[in-house]
């Protein structure tokens, strides 16, 4: 009898980035910069091969680990989040003092029966953030296994908090209700906590349209204890900040893209860069960037493309993740051709150099995180028929 994890249907993903593995073959490491006339920065990254490791399936407690995320904690240690199946089931975490020795993983978000046993609540695509006071927040999408998007009350975003560097966790807290995917949690220099996510519920609820996405945001001014807007009912609309028109259905319904967001503060007074994957009408997944100079003051309408400051469909790729060194270099990681590719960019995260690959395995949905002033840790699942591993590598910034 197959495990419950294997019962989760791919169709339930709507337009999520799961299909990113089907993107055409990987671009060369000698690929040009984004546009003619832009030169690659002198700074580059180099893998410290002595630190590279893989956590195997036996240690991870699942044959199908995916969606790894690493965060550096307030005490200098690290936490790793991952999910136990490709699309959703449980989210687990483990901690390490040095990126080498890892504690026994524990289930952080556990699937369970709902609706009097008629369905299962499952969790996926978790992301974390260390706040200015040292608290660690993690946000995960949750949904009804069978009833995803047909029962919006059973879909949403769940938050948990740790005040002791991931050793123990507080209770679950619902912070958004409605079908969604791929949250990213971020704190600005003003203390505002932001959760960006793939926003699909309003189109489903009001126009019956699947496969249309965008990026929305909810905000907290009390370190994650309350959220604005507080979305609990139809049309399940948060504050839409980015979406790109792709096509119109035969019924005249406009469809949009932009999903799997990653935000990066690039300056004071609300200057933020946002990287997204864009799933085009021709089937390609592309990396797009958008910027704000004052913390996304405008809410897009349900059929409005925006914002104005955009760089659309820059190159093939999916699942982007942003970071920035204290010296100013931005870094963009993403998937293409089942490899993780990384580009070093300018301080504004607008211009990026050539793509390079460092992790040896193949998979998808990776992430990056600063490990020191000139060190970056990168992670991704190494998808294998004998059981997935999670790759962890440390990159040094060199000039």
pLDDT of residue 202: 96
Q: How far apart are CA 215 and CA 197, in angstroms?
A: 6
205-222 burial: b if 16+ Cβ within 10 Å, else e:
bebebbbbbbbbbbbbee
Task: Please tell me which residue, 33 or 296, carries the higher pLDDT value.
Answer: 296
Report percent pLDDT > 70 for the chain. Answer: 89
**Lowest mean pLDDT segment, chosen from 71-80, 202-211, 355-364:** 202-211
pLDDT value of residue 42? 64
Band of pLDDT at residue 325, cut at 50, 70 and 90: very high
| Maximum Cα–Cα distance across the chain | 61
What is the pLDDT at residue 52?
A: 97
pLDDT at position 4: 38
Whether residue 149 has pLDDT greater than 90: no
- Once rounded to an integer, what is the mean pLDDT over residues 194-200? 98
Q: What is the pLDDT of residues 153-179, one digit of tens each?
A: 999 999 999 999 999 999 999 999 999
158 vs 13, 95, 142, 143, 182, CA distance in Å?
18, 21, 7, 10, 12
Residue 278 is predicted with a pLDDT of 98
Question: Given this model, what pLDDT does residue 150 score?
Answer: 84
- pLDDT at residue 70 tops 70: yes
Mean pLDDT across 341-357: 97
pTM given for the model: 0.90
Residue 291 banded pLDDT, cuts 50, 70, 90: very high
Lowest pLDDT segment from 22-26, 185-189, 322-326, 357-361 = 22-26
| pLDDT for the residue 221 | 98
Q: What is the pLDDT of residue 19?
A: 32
Q: Is the predicted pLDDT of residue 341 greater than 70, yes or no? A: yes
What is the C-alpha to C-alpha distance for residues 192 and 219, in angstroms, rounded to an integer? 7
Model pLDDT for residues 250-273, shown as the tens digit of each residue:
999 999 999 999 999 999 989 999
Mean pLDDT of 53-66: 97
* Cα dihedral 331, 262, 107, 66 sign: negative
pLDDT level of residue 134 (50, 70, 90 thresholds): very high
Predicted pLDDT at 24:
27
**pLDDT of 337:** 96
Both tokens assigned to 145: 């296994």
- Name the β-bridge partners of 177: 156
pLDDT class of 344 with cuts at 50, 70, 90: very high
Residue of 54 and 13 predicted with greater confidence = 54
State the pLDDT at residue 35: 40
Residue 4 exposed, middle or buried by CB count within 10 Å (0-12, 13-18, 19+): middle
Say which residues have a Cβ less than 8 Å from residue 63's Cβ, sequence separation at least 6: 57, 387, 388
pLDDT of residue 32: 36
How many percent of the chain have pLDDT more than 90? Answer: 86
Q: Which residues contact 341 (CB under 8 A, 6 or more apart)?
A: 26, 27, 317, 333, 334, 335, 355, 356, 357
For residue 5, pLDDT over 60 is answered with no
- The residue with greater pLDDT, 41 or 140, is 140
């Amino acid at each position: 009898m197959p495990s419950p994890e294997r019962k989760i249907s791919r169709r339930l993903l709507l337009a999520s980035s799961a299909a990113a593995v089907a993107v055409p073959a990987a671009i060369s490491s000698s690929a040009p910069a984004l546009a003619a006339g832009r030169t690659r920065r002198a700074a580059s990254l180099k893998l410290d091969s002595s630190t590279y490791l893989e956590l195997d399936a036996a240690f991870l407690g699942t044959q199908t680990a995916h969606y790894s995320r690493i965060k550096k904690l307030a005490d200098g240690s690290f936490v790793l989040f991952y999910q136990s199946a490709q699309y959703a089931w449980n989210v687990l975490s483990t901690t390490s003092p040095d990126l080498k020795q890892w504690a026994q993983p524990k289930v952080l978000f556990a699937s369970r029966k709902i609706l009097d046993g008629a369905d299962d609540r499952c969790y996926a695509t978790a992301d974390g953030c260390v706040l200015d006071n040292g608290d660690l927040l993690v946000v995960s999408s949750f949904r009804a296994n069978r009833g995803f998007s047909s029962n919006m009350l059973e879909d949403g975003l769940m938050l948990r908090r740790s005040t002791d560097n991931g050793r123990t966790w507080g209770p679950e807290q619902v912070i958004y209700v409605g079908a969604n995917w791929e949250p990213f949690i971020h704190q600005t220099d003003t203390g505002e906590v932001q959760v960006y996510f793939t926003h699909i519920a309003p189109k489903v609820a009001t126009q019956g349209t699947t496969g249309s996405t965008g990026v929305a945001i909810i905000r907290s001014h009390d370190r994650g204890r309350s959220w604005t807007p507080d979305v609990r009912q139809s049309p399940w609309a948060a504050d839409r900040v980015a979406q790109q028109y792709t096509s119109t259905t035969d019924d005249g319904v406009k469809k949009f893209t932009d999903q799997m967001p990653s935000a990066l503060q690039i300056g004071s007074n609300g200057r933020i860069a946002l990287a997204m994957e864009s799933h085009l009408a021709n089937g390609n997944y592309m990396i797009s960037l958008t910027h704000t100079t004052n913390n996304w003051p405008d809410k897009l309408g349900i059929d409005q493309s925006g914002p104005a400051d955009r760089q659309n469909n820059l190159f093939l790729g999916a699942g982007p993740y942003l970071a920035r060194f204290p010296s100013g270099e931005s870094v963009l990681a993403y998937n293409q051709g089942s490899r993780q590719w990384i580009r070093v960019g300018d301080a504004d995260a607008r211009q990026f150099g050539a793509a390079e690959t460092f992790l040896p395995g193949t998979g998808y949905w990776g992430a990056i995180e600063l490990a020191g002033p000139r060190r970056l840790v990168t992670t991704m699942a190494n998808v294998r028929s004998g059981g997935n591993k999670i790759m962890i590598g440390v990159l040094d910034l060199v000039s």
